[in-house]
Amino acid sequence: MNRFVEAVSTLENRYIKDWKSRGGRVVGYTCSYVPDEILHAAGLFPFRVRGFSAADTTIGDTYFGPFICSLPKCMLQLAGEGNFNFLDGIIITPGCDSMRRLDECWRKAGEDIEGIVPGFFFHFGVPHKFTDYTLKWFTEETKRLINALNSHFGADINNEQLSESIRLYNRTRVLLARFDSLRTRKDPPFTGIEALAVVLAGTALPKEIYNAMLEEYLAEMNDAPGIAGRSRIMLVGSANDDLELVRIIEGSGGLVAADNLCFGSRLYSDSVDENSEPVEALVTRYLSHNECPRMYGDYKNRLLSLKEKIESAAIDGVILQNIRFCDLHGSENGLFERDLEKEGIPCMRLEREYGPLVETGRMKMRIDAFLERLGRRVVAP
């Protein structure tokens, strides 16, 4: 477990340093709609950009306006402080409006702060619905990305390499599905903090190393003693890569036994078809992935999928959190609350800021109250 935690507790972890020392290049991306298999096929190190560890947002606030989600502000803060200088490239998507504007804010900050803008800077357009013509657009956009990577990094991404990367990534998905079945057990062998660390590490480690670590970990966990007697919580909503948020929940006696987060289980929920033409298979998997409310008009399917997860993980209560100004998750949380409560599933909506947890006391108090409501509160030792 320590290796997972170590990998996600520093931005430029030792695997990245090692990779770079061997002349390898690292390309960051901001959203789970980027098919990072492509980066792997190009011989690059794909790294999911996070806002973790930003101590303040002074640089973020200089370029972004005030009514913007604190996640991209924290990312910009880290970029401005030079914490992402190890990146050789960055791919920014219109995942949401706050995140898409990281494009301009990062570039413009680069005019004031030398050396913070990676040499490869790519705006990757991802449609907001899945149809034949949006798929066509997304295929072309993906090919545009491939060409740009080939041209900038001197790579030669071909079908064979892509197929190999797809197989490797699918292996990760299979392993994480096994990991999920342990997590949703009646007495899971690890906490929600540990679970988040394990999943997050997949976005910050070379896949080959990650898969090996994961196999080893799963073997260990198969016979490990389980955790029982805690209220089983599902964490839903805005992006969360912060172990501390989960620590607050679990510190109050809950156990985050499932999630529906883009830094969590949404990452590995569907595999890529290994029998189709690789680009076609990739774009189909990524665009048909409707679990983010950025894919408008698909609420009913998301509700259905959430209910299935709640049932299979025997969830006692759902924490629907959103970062302030994240209207997509914030509003959908309102609908989830209405529809889940109707079916007797207790829910709590929690608005928060990303980054330094300055409001821990407030959140802890509300979570405590929610756990009391669940009626099975166990005071943490």
Binding residues for other proteins, per CB under 8 A?
Answer: 62-69, 94, 96-98, 100-101, 103-105, 108, 123, 125, 127-129, 131, 133-134, 137, 140, 293-294, 296-297, 299-300, 322, 324-325, 327-328, 330-335, 337-338
* CA-wise closest residue to 373 among 252, 265, 260: 252
Residue with tokens 């007697």: 229
With respect to other proteins, which residue has the nearer C-beta, 129 or 364?
Answer: 129
* Nearest approach, Cβ of residue 107 and other proteins (Å): 8
With respect to other proteins, which residue has the nearer C-beta, 299 or 377?
Answer: 299
Distance CA 56, CA 54 (A): 6
With respect to other proteins, which residue has the nearer C-beta, 96 or 249?
Answer: 96
Please say whether the beta carbons of 201 and 8 come within 8 A.
yes
With respect to other proteins, which residue has the nearer C-beta, 35 or 293?
Answer: 293
- H helices then E strands: how many in the chain? 16, 8
Please say whether the beta carbons of 218 and 175 come within 8 A.
yes
3-state DSSP call for residue 348?
strand
Phi and psi of 295, rounded to 5°? Answer: -90, 90
According to DSSP, residue 101 is labeled T
* Nearest approach, Cβ of residue 133 and other proteins (Å): 4
Distance CA 371, CA 233 (A): 9
* Nearest approach, Cβ of residue 331 and other proteins (Å): 5
Strand segments (E) across the chain: 26-29, 45-48, 89-92, 120-123, 231-237, 254-260, 317-323, 347-352
* Nearest approach, Cβ of residue 249 and other proteins (Å): 22
According to DSSP, residue 265 is labeled G
* Nearest approach, Cβ of residue 226 and other proteins (Å): 36
* Nearest approach, Cβ of residue 335 and other proteins (Å): 5
With respect to other proteins, which residue has the nearer C-beta, 135 or 174?
Answer: 135
3-state DSSP call for residue 306?
helix
Please say whether the beta carbons of 330 and 69 come within 8 A.
no
With respect to other proteins, which residue has the nearer C-beta, 102 or 214?
Answer: 102
Cα→Cα distances 53→46, 50, 76, 180, 315, Å: 20, 9, 12, 27, 30
With respect to other proteins, which residue has the nearer C-beta, 300 or 362?
Answer: 300
**294 CB neighbour count, 10 Å cutoff:** 22
* Nearest approach, Cβ of residue 20 and other proteins (Å): 29
With respect to other proteins, which residue has the nearer C-beta, 109 or 221?
Answer: 109
With respect to other proteins, which residue has the nearer C-beta, 128 or 362?
Answer: 128
Distance CA 294, CA 342 (A): 25
With respect to other proteins, which residue has the nearer C-beta, 111 or 114?
Answer: 111
* Nearest approach, Cβ of residue 136 and other proteins (Å): 8
* Nearest approach, Cβ of residue 245 and other proteins (Å): 19
Distance spanning both ends of the chain, measured CA to CA? 21
* Nearest approach, Cβ of residue 326 and other proteins (Å): 8
Helices 70-80, 102-112: inter-axial angle, 10-degree rounding: 30
